[in-house]
Amino acid sequence: MPRTPFDNRFLPAIAQRAIMYFYRARFANNRRTCYASRAAELLLTAAEAGNISAASMLGMVYYEGWGVPPDAEVAAHWLHRAAAEQHPLACFNLAVLYDNGIGVTKNPNTARRYYSVAARAGCPEAMYAVGTYYYWGHGVEPDYAKARKWFRRSARLGNATAMRELGRLYQRSINGGRNSALAMRWFRRALAVGDYKAATGLGVEYAIEEDFPQARHYLEQAAEHDEANAMYLLGRWAEEGWDTVPNPADARFWFREAANRGHERAAWRLASFEGDTC
C-alpha cells in the first residue's frame, strides 16, 4: 500500500500516529500485531471525524486485513468515502475493486471513471490503467494515440509497466509506424527498474536486427526471471535455428518450461513435438 499524505483539517495528530503504527506493523510483516490493531483503531477515529486520507488508508487496511478481519465490503465503504472527496489513491483503489468485482458489483464503466479521476490527479498507476482502456477499447473506442499519451505520462512518473507497454507500442508499428530506437529506449528504462518482461522486448528487437548474441542475452535474462514468453521464443529459436542449426532437444525443453507456466502457444508447439495436436 503506497504511503499517503494525511489530511490536516481533521485529527492530523491521530492520523500521523496511525501511519506510524501501521508502518511498524508492515516492518514486522505481521497483520495481527498490536501495531496493526492500534493503527486500525486510530484510522477509524480519524476517518469518522472526516479525515479523508485516513478513510482511504482504512479502506486498504480492511481490504488487506491489517489489524482487522479482511472485509472487502467495508473496504469499499471507506474508499467510497474518500473517493467522494477526489482522493487520488482512494479513487484508484476503488477502481480496482470495481474492475474485479471485489466488495462491489463488477462495473468496468465505474472503474474507468474512478481511474480517470485518479489519473487526472497524478496517480501513475491510474494513468497506466486509463491507457489500457484506450488500447484495448474497453468501454471506449480504441485510440492508440490516447493510449500512448497516458502510458507516456505514467512512464515519466516511474511506472515500469507503462514504460514496457510504450516499448511494445513502438515495437508493433501501431499508430504511427514502428520505431525501434524508441522501443529499445523504453524497454531499457523498464528493465532498469526491474521489469524483466521488458528484457523479452529487447531480445526481440535484437533478433529483428540479427544481433543474435544480444538477443539471446536478453531472452535468457527474461527466462531466468520466469518470463514464459521469453522461454517460448527461445524454443522457437531452437526449433527454427535462427542463427545456427535447429536443436529439437533445446526447443522441447524451452517449450515445456513455458507451457508449465501457462503459455498456450508453447503447449501447442510441445504437443506437436510429441505427436499430439488433437
pLDDT at residue 157, rounded to an integer = 96
Query: Where does 1-121 sit in CATH, by number?
Result: 1.25.40.10
pLDDT at residue 2, rounded to an integer = 41
Equal fold, 1-121 vs 220-278 = yes
Instruction: List the chain pLDDT tens, one digit each, 278 residues.
Output: 344 444 555 455 666 677 776 666 665 666 667 878 888 898 999 999 989 989 999 999 999 998 899 999 999 999 999 999 999 999 999 999 999 999 999 999 999 999 999 999 999 999 999 999 999 998 889 999 999 999 999 999 999 999 999 999 999 877 667 899 999 999 999 999 999 999 999 999 999 999 999 999 999 999 999 999 999 999 999 999 999 999 999 999 999 999 999 999 999 999 988 775 54
- Among 216, 214, 217, 231, residue whose Cα is nearest residue 267: 231
Q: What would be the CATH architecture of the domain defined by 220-278? A: Alpha Horseshoe (1.25)
pLDDT at residue 3, rounded to an integer = 41
Q: What is the pTM of this model?
A: 0.83
> From the CA atom positions of the chain, what is the Rg in Å?
23
For the chain, domain boundaries: 1-121, 220-278
Query: Concatenated DSSP letters for the chain?
Result: ----PPPTTS-HHHHHHHHHHHHHHHHHT-TTSHHHHHHHHHHHHHHHTT-HHHHHHHHHHHHHTSSS---HHHHHHHHHHHHTTT-HHHHHHHHHHHHHTSSS---HHHHHHHHHHHHHTT-HHHHHHHHHHHHHTSSS---HHHHHHHHHHHHHTT-HHHHHHHHHHHHTT-SS---HHHHHHHHHHHHHTT-THHHHHHHHHHHHTT-HHHHHHHHHHHHHTT-HHHHHHHHHHHHHTSSSS--HHHHHHHHHHHHTTT-HHHHHHHHHHTT---
Q: Which residue shows C-alpha cell 499519451? A: 149
